[in-house]
Every structure is written in structure tokens, then in C-alpha cells.
Amino acid sequence: MGRVSIVKCPDYAYEKVESAIRQCIDLLGGINKFVQPGQKVLLKINLLSATAPEKAVTTHPNVTLALARLVQEAGGQPIVADSPGPVPYTTTGLKKAYQAAGYLGPAERGELELNWDTAVQALPCPDGKLIKLFEVIQPVVACDVVIAVPKLKTHMFTSLTGATKILFGVIPGLAKAGYHAKLQSGEQFADMLLDIIQAVKPTLYLMDGILAMEGDGPGLHGNPRPLGLLMAADNPVSMDLAACSIIGLDPMEVPMLRAAKHRGWWSGGWSDIQVVGVPLSAAAVPDFRKPARVARDARGLDRLTWYQRMWAPAVKQALTPRPVPSAGRCTACATCRNICPQQAITIAGGVALVDDRNCIRCYCCHEVCPEAAIDQKFGPTGRLIRRFGLFGYR
């Protein structure tokens, strides 16, 4: 387990961000510990969708810009890349996401280099538990060093999206949906995410928590929440454990951290976190709002007791909320239909319709809807089960 540095930064004013990032990385040994002269450095940001920075969905451009300049000081050649989820991996899709998230301006001024190469390349993962070969975006293979720049956000499916999930973005565009279709349990999906970490091997993680997201993240259903924090670490598990401590989230509710414990990547205790800079107690936010309905709760359908398993097949649909498009907010843009791994969504009468029989509850549609028009709702049986605590659920 590596160290996690925490530094306060009240807002995104560039000078404050640059100073805080420098301090954050200096607490870990300085940028020269992670970047050598002449190296090509991929700054893998969170570019979930074409969303403005103030929505707290994407990594803020000033965080990325300050980090890029620090890499340049070390003699590295930074390039910014990600593959947004709800669109095909094309230059058109990239441009739309870059522009909305505030990256085109710095790029046009020559302050940032953005990736426009939409080629895909195989990346072996011989030590992977589930996946032995990934198809990833070209910069992952072309660069010498990867620095991941996650956003501190809640997530309806995984409770938290941070350092242990940020690399899912190296899977190109709509190919992400295939992983949701194949790996339908939280544990399987988490193991795949850890396999990506083993394959990509980022040197450093820098988390944008200046404006975080609480509630029903990671998309527009979540709410921006100012935290005024930046964090750096050379270990993704350490970083996400620190994030859990700050927002008051049980790490065992995060599938990636459960899977990491099973792999022996941490002991399961808070003592594994080694913090420098601002103490966790000073950074903690006691009233941080978690997802209202964690899609697969801390126990998960595949973690039931024997008597719960007897009933699980009959009530499986009831124990997880259904994605329900709102006729009043849906614009029939078909973003949800295009990303659905099961092809369970159609457009009819100017609104999206979800075939509940084919829906696997991956919540890709909820995550990427540009209008926040897809709600999570339990059916009558599910509401009854949760109201009275039947089968151990509330």
C-alpha cells in the first residue's frame, strides 16, 4: 500500500490549483519520481460525457492543465485522453466531449495536447483474473507513463467511482457495453476493473475533489458538492480508501475494494491508509450524500445467505431498481439505446422504452443520459420487500 497525499484547494482558480497539485505530488516525492525526461505521458482523465465542468461529471480542465505543466517541467510530453462512454469512439464524439468539458480552449491555445487518434490496440494482461487481453485506446500503448486523473464521485452501480474505476475509460466507446453484458455481477465487473489496473499500470493517480459529486452519480443525476480537496497516490486502492473515509462510505460497499481485499491488495482495515498532508479527520465530510438506491447493495445478489438464495430467482427483479425513462424529460436522443449492452431499449412515441425482461441492471442508460431523464424505480414488490425488510433488504 502506498501513501496518499491530501491538500486543500478552495476553488479552480488556476494559480491555486497549480500550487496545490505541486504540493500534493511533492508530498509523494515530487514529479521526477514518476516522470523521466523524454517520456510520453498519458493523462487519463474522466471524460464520462459531453458535460460542462461545473456539473462535476468530468475532471476539471484546470486540474489537467496544471498537471500537464508539471509533467513538462520534468521533461515529459503529456497528452490528454479518454473515451467517453455513450458515443462511438470517433473524432466527432471526442470533439463534442472535449468542448463541453472545457478542454478545446486550452488545446487551441497550445496549452494542452489532446488525443485525436481513435485507433484501438490490444493490451495483454497475462496476470488478469478474468481478462487476459484488452482492446484499449491507442495512447495507452503508445505512451511510456500513465497518470490517471479521476474525479471524486458517487456511483449508482459501484457506490464510488475513483481511482479503481477510472481506467474503464481506456476501453473504446461503445465497447464498454459489452463488458456490462458479459460481467453482470458486481464482483465480476470489479475483478475486470482490477485486471485493467494490472494491465495499464498507472504510475500516479491525482484525484479531483475540489468539486466532487454526491447523490445518484456518476452522471447528471448526481449533485455537485464542493469539497476543496486534491489527492495524489501511487496506489489506487489507497486513494479510494482515503476517499471512502472522507465521504463516510463503508469501503466494503465498493465492489472494487472488496475484490482488492480478496486479492490481498489490502488487509480490509483502515490502518492500511498512510496519509500525508491534511489528515483524514480534517478532510472528512459528515453529511456527504450517498446514492439513494445503490443498484447492487453492499451485500449484492450474489452474496445472499442460503435461505435468501432460495427466494432470489423469484424476486431478483424486485431487489434492484428498474431504469424508467421520464416522458417529460426524455428527448428521444437514443443515447441510452445506443449504449445498452442488451439492446433492451427502443424509442417509440418520442420517448425511450426499457424492456425489463432483457434489462440486466447495468445502469449504463442512467449513467450517460444527457438529460438526466432516466430514473431508478422499484416496482410494487420491491417497494414492499424494502419497506418491511423482507429477505434482509431495506
Distances 36 to 33, 73, 140, 144, 164 between C-alpha atoms, Å? 8, 10, 17, 10, 25
- Of residues 315 and 223, the one with the higher pLDDT is 223
Contact 120, 135 (CB under 8 A): yes
Q: What is the set of domains in the chain, with CATH numbers?
A: 3-283 (3.40.50), 301-392 (3.30.70.20)
pLDDT above 90 as % of the chain: 73
Q: Which residues make Cβ contacts (< 8 Å) with residue 212, sequence separation at least 6?
A: 56, 151, 152, 153, 224, 225, 226, 227, 229, 247
Average pLDDT over residues 383-389: 64
43, 73, 54: which is closest to 11 by C-alpha?
A: 54
Q: Tens digit of pLDDT for each residue in 255-308? A: 999 999 999 999 998 888 999 999 999 999 999 999 875 544 433 444 445 545
Q: How far apart are CA 135 and CA 137, in angstroms?
A: 7
Q: Tens digit of pLDDT for each residue in 305-318? A: 554 555 555 555 66
Residue 37, by phi and psi: left (phi above 0), alpha (psi -120 to 50) or beta? beta
Average pLDDT over residues 361-378: 86
* One-letter amino acid for residue 347 of the chain: I
Asked if the model's pLDDT at residue 207 lies above 50, the reply is: yes
Distances 20 to 30, 65, 225 between C-alpha atoms, Å? 13, 13, 19
Neighbours of 357 (CB within 10 A): 8
Q: Tens digit of pLDDT for each residue in 187-199? A: 899 999 999 999 9
Asked if the model's pLDDT at residue 394 lies above 50, the reply is: no
Q: Tens digit of pLDDT for each residue in 89-129? A: 999 999 999 999 999 999 999 999 999 999 999 999 999 99
The gap from C-alpha 384 to its chain's centroid, in whole angstroms, comes to 32
pLDDT, residue 309, reads 54
Q: How far apart are CA 214 and CA 216, in angstroms?
A: 7
Distances 132 to 127, 169, 180 between C-alpha atoms, Å? 7, 18, 17
- Please report where in the chains the cell 420517448 appears, as a residue: 351
Q: How far apart are CA 83 and CA 91, in angstroms?
A: 10
